[in-house]
A and B are shown apart, each in its own frame.
Chain A
Amino acid sequence: MYIIVAGGGKVGYYLAKELLSEGHEVLVIEQSAKKCEQISEELGSIALRGDACETTTLADAGMARADMVVAVTGDDEDNLVICQVAKKKFNAPRTIARINNPKNEPIFRKLGIDVTVSSTNIILEHLEAELPTHSVVHLLELRAQGLEILDIKVPPNSPAVGKLLKDLPIPANSVVSLHLSLKHGPSIPKGDSVIEAGDAMVVVTTPENEARLKEVLTGR
Chain B
Amino acid sequence: MEKIANIMVPVSGHKIDEEAIGLACRVARAGKGRVYVVYVIEVTRTLPLNAELETEVKKGEVILDKAERVAEEVDYEVESELLQAREVGPALVDEAIERGVDLIIIGVPYKKRFGEFNLGKVAPYMLKNAPCRVWLVRQAISD
Q: What is A's interface to B at a CB cutoff of 8 Å? A: 2, 25, 27, 40, 44-46, 48, 59-62, 64-65
Among candidates A45, A59, A62, residue contacting B47 with C-beta atoms closer than 8 Å: A62
- Chain A, Cβ-Cβ closest to B49: A25
Chain B residues with CB below 8 A from A27, complex form: 45
For B55-99 the 0/1 string (1 means CB < 8 A from A) is: 000000000000000000000000000000111001100000000
Report yes or no: B86 in contact with A45, Cβ–Cβ below 8 A.
yes
Chain A residues with CB below 8 A from B49, complex form: 25
Report yes or no: A45 in contact with B90, Cβ–Cβ below 8 A.
yes
CA distance A44 to B48 in the complex (A): 16
Chain B residues with CB below 8 A from A48, complex form: 45
CA distance A48 to B86 in the complex (A): 11
Report yes or no: A64 in contact with B46, Cβ–Cβ below 8 A.
yes
Total CB contacts across the A-B interface at under 8 A:
27
A27, A40, A45, A46 interface centre (most CB from chain B within 10 Å)? A45
Interface presence of B118 (CB below 8 A): no
Chain B residues with CB below 8 A from A60, complex form: 44-46
Nearest-Cβ distance from residue B9 to partner chain A, whole angstroms: 22
CA distance A2 to B50 in the complex (A): 13
Chain A residues with CB below 8 A from B46, complex form: 59-60, 62, 64-65
Report yes or no: B90 in contact with A25, Cβ–Cβ below 8 A.
no
Q: What 4 new A-B contacts, CB under 8 Å, besides A45-B87, A62-B44? A: A40-B90, A45-B91, A60-B45, A64-B46
Chain B residues with CB below 8 A from A2, complex form: 48
Report yes or no: A44 in contact with B44, Cβ–Cβ below 8 A.
no
Report yes or no: B44 in contact with A65, Cβ–Cβ below 8 A.
no
Nearest-Cβ distance from residue B125 to partner chain A, whole angstroms: 10
Among candidates A25, A59, A61, residue contacting B48 with C-beta atoms closer than 8 Å: A25
Chain A residues with CB below 8 A from B44, complex form: 60, 62
Nearest-Cβ distance from residue A146 to partner chain B, whole angstroms: 37
A-B contact pairs, 14 of them (CB 8 A): A2-B48, A27-B45, A40-B87, A40-B90, A45-B86, A45-B91, A60-B44, A60-B46, A61-B45, A62-B46, A62-B47, A64-B46, A65-B46, A65-B48
Chain B residues with CB below 8 A from A40, complex form: 87, 90
CA distance A44 to B49 in the complex (A): 13
CA distance A176 to B13 in the complex (A): 70
CA distance A180 to B28 in the complex (A): 76
Nearest-Cβ distance from residue B131 to partner chain A, whole angstroms: 14
CA distance A60 to B48 in the complex (A): 13
- Chain A, Cβ-Cβ closest to B94: A44
Report yes or no: B90 in contact with A44, Cβ–Cβ below 8 A.
yes
Nearest-Cβ distance from residue A55 to partner chain B, whole angstroms: 14
- Chain A, Cβ-Cβ closest to B86: A45
- Chain B, Cβ-Cβ closest to A64: B46
CA distance A133 to B40 in the complex (A): 63
CA distance A64 to B46 in the complex (A): 7
Nearest-Cβ distance from residue B80 to partner chain A, whole angstroms: 23
